[in-house]
Structure 1
Amino acid sequence: MQISRLFQIIYILLEKKSVTAGELAKHFEVSVRTIYRDIDALSQAGIPIYASQGKGGGISLLDNFVLDKSLLSEKEQDKILLALQSLSAVQYPELDDVLSKLNSLFKKSNINWIEVDFSNWGKDKKQNEVFSLLKDTILEHMVITFSYFNINGEKSYRKVEPFKLLFRDKAWYLQGYCLQKMALRTFKISRMSDIHITEESCTHQSSQELMTKSLKEACSEQVKLTLKISPEGAYRVYDDFEEENIIKNNDGSYTVIVSLPGGEWIYSYLFSFGTMLEVIEPESVRKEISTRLDNMVNKYRFKT
């Protein structure tokens, strides 16, 4: 995360006075090019930072520079600490170190009142390692390759320019430009394997407006559903839907009228309610569910 890295660079320079770009790159496990981009960002933000060449040269702050915490109000300091603490959800590696330093600088003590954790119970560290790898490739603008299983269980090889990590509906996704399909795609991280970083740099990184357009088009493909959910499903009703979309019936059941993105996923989602849910409308979805249920039942019929 660039913002936290910028804070750390300032802190390191305040302590060590002068550090080379190579040393900073090694410390943060990024490229020297990335460090110079950070230096430019700090300079544009008004931090008196400069680089000197030759023997004994390096990156330094002007001698009279002091990181004045009074530039930030108490409320702004709290917001910064809260934002960094929420990064625990994505297992950001330098988080504890950054929080400790800023906590000391701001003289704060009670910053542990929130913990965000998106991981599954009992999940091993493999997903965290994949997340960290993908985060680095996005920040470094590097092309990656990986194997991917689609919703039908079909395996394919992908070469992608990664743009963004997205958490939605209990799962992490990678959004990027697929060089095989020549189009923007969204990949569920749990279905990715054999991820490798190539030596190629992204060329479509500046075309993020294409991603925005693609996502808007995907979101426009909505299916309006009328659902009836039994009283036993009350916990799911208020977990999954807005109160304004819920009608409680006299028999204790619920009628939910909601628009959801279309696609194969919608049937897996509806089936997750089991016998607690009945699709009232549209008829096309009712028929498709009936067909799928018949196919499932046929697999378990006793053969004579």
Structure 2
Amino acid sequence: MRADRLLQLLYLLRRHGRLTAARLAELLEVSERTVLRDMEALSAAGVPVYTEQGRGGGCVLLEGWETDVSGLSPDEAQALFAWTAQGAAADLGLGPQLATALTKLSATVPQPALERADALAAVVVVDRRRWFAASEEVPLLPRLREAAVARRRVRLRYGAPSDPEPSRRTVDPYGLVENAGRWYLLAAHRGVVKSFRASRILEATVLDEPARVPPDLDLAAEWARVRAAFEDRQQGVALVVAVRPEVLGRFRLVASSQVATGTAAEAAGEHDGWPLLRLTVRAQEAGVALVLGFGGDVRLVEPVALPDAVRRRARAALALHGGSAEM
């Protein structure tokens, strides 16, 4: 059941006191049956709503009902209701609980603050999915969350991209990290702290063994250290390329996904009338693929030795796809 619809239902009842199920269905653009189910959900969450039958009946919020937390400012309400990570909560298996909590809290907030929060929610969308990437399936995330909170060890079956077959390993979970729509389990394996991409965890068994977690663990600082170590290992390869002017914009766009962290393609003059760009890619293979992908529209200028690798890959591709290997 969507949290925003429950909140809107509560807003309407606070504003009008009593409305028929038919009128609420019209305003919320749902069926009357959905309105009645939402009323049951609000009642189960502790909100004093009820329905009355007969002439003059309808859906009712107990008159004068307020709770203690009523001093939330409009900006605070916007921050709370618009920016609460509902997608992340759903991944963690806490979507319904978040909806219930927001429903309860919404009844405590002054009406002007709720209206401001509604206005912000109407003009802000948070899309956690990366460009050209499908949303990752993380069905084991709720179990991993429970293990991390309970400080229990976990036996994983993990499909690392570098391993020919999934491997089994027992880890001490430190916590979960969401990075640009991707979830990671930060855990110690044989005393070494590593990150495990949640979508690659094929099995997770919570063991009846206490996890060995440092008592002074700062999860955010530990994640920053692991991330920095990973990025530092990607030394990068500096390139200078000449790009046909007609494809310059497209090349910049494609190259932006291949450059090393914290870098960008920069103008470096001209070469035979073509703009020169200087960029650092994460690996030599990425640079070769980038140049070959643009065919005759991109020419590699530096480093001097790398064109040999480009030619070798081009010959191999021609041979594999039935073309002439003569260059």
The 5 Å alignment of 1:101-250 reads 101-106=104-109, 107=111, 108-109=114-115, 110=118, 111-119=121-129, 127-154=137-164, 155-168=166-179, 171-178=182-189, 181-206=190-215, 208=217, 211=222, 212-227=224-239, 228=241, 230=243, 231=247, 232-237=250-255, 245-248=264-267
Deviations 1:11-63 (A, max 9, x none): 99x959xxxxxxxxxxxxxxxxxxxxxxxxxxxxxxxxxxxxxxxxxxxxxxx
Unaligned runs of 5+ in 2: 1-41, 48-66, 323-327
The 5 Å alignment of 1:1-304 reads 15=46, 67-70=68-71, 72-84=72-84, 86-91=85-90, 92-93=94-95, 94-106=97-109, 107=111, 108-109=114-115, 110=118, 111-119=121-129, 127-154=137-164, 155-168=166-179, 171-178=182-189, 181-206=190-215, 208=217, 211=222, 212-227=224-239, 228=241, 230=243, 231=247, 232-237=250-255, 245-248=264-267, 255-258=277-280, 260=282, 266=283, 273=290, 275-276=293-294, 286=306, 293=313, 297=317, 300=320
| Conservation of the 8 A alpha-carbon contact between 2:238 and 2:278 | yes
| Conservation of the 8 A alpha-carbon contact between 2:129 and 2:180 | no
| Conservation of the 8 A alpha-carbon contact between 2:288 and 2:310 | no
Return closer, same or farther for 1:255/1:129 CA change in 2, 3 Å cut-off: same
Distance 1:292 1:191 in 2: 34
TM-score (norm 1): 0.57
| Conservation of the 8 A alpha-carbon contact between 2:70 and 2:108 | yes
| Conservation of the 8 A alpha-carbon contact between 1:161 and 1:205 | no
1:184 Cα deviation after fit: 0.8
| Conservation of the 8 A alpha-carbon contact between 1:144 and 1:197 | yes
Return closer, same or farther for 1:217/1:282 CA change in 2, 3 Å cut-off: farther
| Conservation of the 8 A alpha-carbon contact between 1:225 and 1:279 | no
| Conservation of the 8 A alpha-carbon contact between 2:184 and 2:198 | yes
Identity %: 13
Deviations 1:107-142 (A, max 9, x none): 314134433343589968x82422333233222222
User: What letter is aligned with 2:230?
Assistant: A
Kindly tell me the number of residue pairs found equivalent between the two proteins: 232
SS of equivalent residue, structure 2 residue 204: strand
**Could you say which residue in structure 2 is the equivalent of 1:4?**
none
| Conservation of the 8 A alpha-carbon contact between 2:184 and 2:197 | yes
**Could you say which residue in structure 1 is the equivalent of 2:32?**
none
SS of equivalent residue, structure 1 residue 129: coil
Q: Which has the larger radius of gyration?
A: 2
1:295 Cα deviation after fit: 10
**Could you say which residue in structure 2 is the equivalent of 1:27?**
none
1:287 Cα deviation after fit: 8.4
SS of equivalent residue, structure 2 residue 128: coil
Return closer, same or farther for 1:112/1:214 CA change in 2, 3 Å cut-off: same
| Conservation of the 8 A alpha-carbon contact between 1:143 and 1:202 | yes
Deviations 1:213-250 (A, max 9, x none): 44443343352433448523233345676997332465
1:193 Cα deviation after fit: 0.5
User: What letter is aligned with 1:300?
Assistant: L
Deviations 1:163-203 (A, max 9, x none): 2333446643222111xx32111122232212221122222
Return closer, same or farther for 1:224/1:240 CA change in 2, 3 Å cut-off: closer
User: What letter is aligned with 2:124?
Assistant: I
TM-score (norm 2): 0.53
Unaligned runs of 5+ in 1: 1-10, 17-65, 261-265
1:77 Cα deviation after fit: 2.3
